[in-house]
Amino acid sequence: MISSSHSVSFGSHLIEFTIRRRERKTLEIAVEPDASIVVTAPINASIDAIEGKVKKRAGWILRQQRYFGRYLPRTPEKRFVAGETHLYLGRQYRLKISGDLKDSVKLARGYINITSVRPNNVEAIRELVENWFLDRARQKFRERLEASMLRFPEPEAFRPAGLVVRHLEMRWGSMSPAHRLMLNRRLIHAPTDAIDYVITHELCHIEEPNHSASFFSLLSRVMPDWERRKYRLETAMA
């Protein structure tokens, strides 16, 4: 499959989209849940024809992006001060900060206990907490990936080529054409069943790259309650 990135102007909007060429007769435009735009086009379709179709459907594209935009990850402002609550795997924990000769972060009895050589330095506390969350995300996501693969009849056929955890502005996860799974580090704040939904959703893209009827058929077979999990993700992380 051949992919390339393009853009067209529509009024004051710049519409950026990816073209994926396949052996097919018709052209299809899809707005993905992360608000990205994918145009699946015949191998011999001209760029002018594709751009013309995108412009013709620009109004619909922008409406779809606004709709999906309501469910994109939103990062609340945190101050990283004692008593502030932070989500971890869907549960609220309070920060407890104290001074010590070394830095550490530990979870215990409803608190994220932080000891620091600079307990009054907000940026130092922020760095400690965010690094702790990132470490937890890397461990937990690997664990949930292994569990999620078992939902498929042939688990190894759905093993991604790699797993990357990083900050993503507009999506919870993605699967690259090379089958590298990327997950938003903020997912560590979500309930475990919601994390499993995101991972399973992305694993389905190994077999079905687009959000077609076949994709949702596969997702529903391996995770019949995916819509409940998706709703829990959206409400927990709003």
Q: What is the pLDDT of residue 8?
A: 87
**Model pLDDT, residue 168:** 82
Q: Are 76 and 86 spatial neighbours (Cβ–Cβ below 8 Å)?
A: no
Q: What is the three-class DSSP state of 3?
A: strand
The token duo for 100 is: 């010590």
| Better-scored residue on pLDDT, 149 or 232 | 149
Average pLDDT of 46-70? 88
Sign of CA dihedral 15, 16, 18, 23: positive
Report pLDDT digits (tens) over 143-185. Answer: 999 999 999 999 999 999 999 999 887 789 999 889 999 999 9
Which residues lie below 8 Å from residue 16, measured CB to CB, with a gap of 6+? 5, 6, 7, 37
Are the C-beta atoms of 84 and 76 separated by less than 8 Å? no
Model confidence at 71, pLDDT cuts 50, 70, 90, reads low
Q: What's residue 22's pLDDT?
A: 86
Answer yes or no: are the C-beta atoms of 203 and 181 closer than 8 Å: yes
Strand order in the sheet with 162-166: 162-166, 180-184, 173-175
Domain boundaries, the chain: 2-69, 85-132, 141-236
Closest CA to 190 of 105, 74, 91, 71: 91
Q: What are phi and psi of 105, to 5 degrees?
A: -135, 125
In the CATH scheme, what is the code of domain 141-236?
Answer: 3.30.2010.10
Query: What is this structure's pTM?
Result: 0.71
Grade residue 211 by pLDDT with cuts at 50, 70 and 90.
confident
Pair 32, 20: CB distance under 8 Å:
no
